[in-house]
Amino acid sequence: MDREFWKYVPILAFISVMTMYVEMVVLPSLPKIESEFNVSSSQGSWILSSETLSGMTLAPFVGRIADSAGRKKVLLTILAVYLVSVGLTSLSPNFVILLISRAVQGIGLSINPLAYTIIRERLSDKELPVAQGIIASTFAVGAAISIPIGSFVSQYFSWQFAYVTAIPFLLLALALAWIVLPSSKPSVVKDIDSIGIVLLAIGFLLIGVGFTEAPIWGWTSPGFISLLFAGISFLVIFSSHIRKVRSPLINPEDLRNPNVAVPLISSFITGFGLFLTFQSLVFLFELPKPVGYGLNILETGETMAPISLVLLVGGPLFGSLVNKVGYKRVITFSSTSSAATLAALSFVVGKVSIPLLMGVLVSVLFFISGMNVTRITLLLASSSRERMASMTGTNTSMRLMGNTLGPIISGSLQDTFKFPLFLGFVGNVPLFTFIPSIQAFQFSFITSMFSILSVVILATRIKEGIPVR
């Protein structure tokens, strides 16, 4: 590895780790935040989804700006806005302000695709796969750091202070990026598909609100069906719109190449399944028995932290198999195995001890890590250097579409399937409260399973050895 590798990759990896830290640090505290602000599970799901919905709409926008205005300049701007938004999140006095702050925070989710493009621009073809693997592993590293630290700080201080812990490191990241990272030459300025951004955001927002209110209105109610129809209509209009504009938010031509289309669609599917599973697990661990395991925030963090390290092992292992057996076989095997282990997870949930449950979950994440690394490697190998920022931005947007819907579906299922928990007597009157039932979590994992199975079908379209155009 030459000097530029050791100069740029560690800094970009550190920045990416910190954004993953901020994104995941709130995870163990979700039940506590819902209780503190007195919101339902489906409403609380927007704590995660508000950030990902914002990131989803901004990622292609940021990628296009970075192609035309220079990657370092855009990265520094994002880091500055991100830093301010994290400070605002730590000061949130109510649920609405929290969601708004988290939405602004979503701009930080564009950092990873920018990191990919900076290293692609500066490193040799031999160094590139190693650097990509390091950046890709930052999700696991960030989660492995943030979940235990976030759970400890939230348990003994507050979830707000968990955000404060990130601020000094974000300041350091901003300074390092400004001093060390290279400037890039701006390319030809391109139009920004503002109409496409609005159509896509409104479509997913309407669908998300519909699923949020479905447990209250009813799954067959006119309100839910109307919002679902309206959201899908906006997505159909978006699909028609991008075929007509010169610089679309998502280029339909990219979807003609199966080696680009499959990774992009798979990003949505795996993002959906992963976030749906993560949110479900947090509530499963912290709900009281007999439904959950009755853990506190710190115990939940300690239980979940090791599973993040599985991604560090699975990613490089499956990545090394690509050169031996090809993309199609690796993605097919990893996605089939992910679906099978998710089916097993839905079967054992509520029936086994935490160690046995974690054994199944580790298997799920091991195979999902193989899917994630292989699809991003295939996408990068199938894209030209000139369009790398735009393509990785689109990939991030697709992943965040799934990330947005996953927690919402999880929260809706938890509000739909309830279990009466006996609290005691008030005089001679029995007192009950209603908590999510085992069925809510079983349906969550089954939903994840079917979404992952669709990747198996998509993988059949992959063609080995298609040249980059």
Q: Are residues 253 and 386 in the same domain?
A: yes
In a domain, 36, yes or no: yes
Q: Give me 288's structure tokens.
A: 């009281």
CATH for 44: 1.20.1250.20
- Chosen domain end from 244, 261, 284: 244
Q: Are residues 188 and 210 in the same domain?
A: no
Mean pLDDT of 406-430: 84
The contacts of residue 311 (CB under 8 Å, 6+ apart) are 137, 139, 140, 143, 365, 368, 369, 372
Q: Which amino acid is at 97?
A: I
Q: Are residues 282 and 221 in the same domain?
A: no
Given a cut of 50, whether residue 467 has pLDDT beyond it is no
- Report the chain's mean pLDDT, rounded to a whole number: 83
Q: Are residues 111 and 251 in the same domain?
A: yes
Q: Are residues 150 and 287 in the same domain?
A: yes
Contact of 119 with 132, CB cutoff 8 Å: yes
Given a cut of 90, whether residue 445 has pLDDT beyond it is yes
Q: Are residues 224 and 266 in the same domain?
A: no
Q: Are residues 89 and 126 in the same domain?
A: yes
Highest mean pLDDT (candidates 226-235, 248-257, 283-292) = 226-235
Domain count, the chain: 2
Share of the chain above pLDDT 70, in %: 89
Query: Which residue has tokens 């954004």?
Result: 19
In a domain, 468, yes or no: no
Query: How far apart are alpha carbons 249 and 268 in whole angstroms?
Result: 16
Query: Which residue has tokens 């993002």?
Result: 271
- Tens of pLDDT, residue by residue over 305-326, are 777 677 667 767 777 777 788 8
Q: Are residues 101 and 145 in the same domain?
A: yes
- Tens of pLDDT, residue by residue over 23-69, are 888 888 888 898 899 988 889 999 989 888 888 777 767 767 777 67
- Tens of pLDDT, residue by residue over 446-464, are 999 999 998 888 888 888 7
**Buried/exposed 394-405: b ≥16 CB within 10 Å, e otherwise:** bbbbbbbbbbbb
Q: Are residues 78 and 214 in the same domain?
A: no
Q: Are residues 189 and 291 in the same domain?
A: yes
Q: Are residues 33 and 88 in the same domain?
A: yes
Q: What is the pTM of this model?
A: 0.84
Residues of the domain holding 222: 194-244
Q: How many other CB atoms are there within 10 angstroms of residue 180's CB atom?
A: 13
pLDDT of residue 1: 58
Q: Are residues 64 and 207 in the same domain?
A: no
- Tens of pLDDT, residue by residue over 85-133, are 999 998 989 999 999 999 988 888 877 777 777 777 777 767 766 776 6
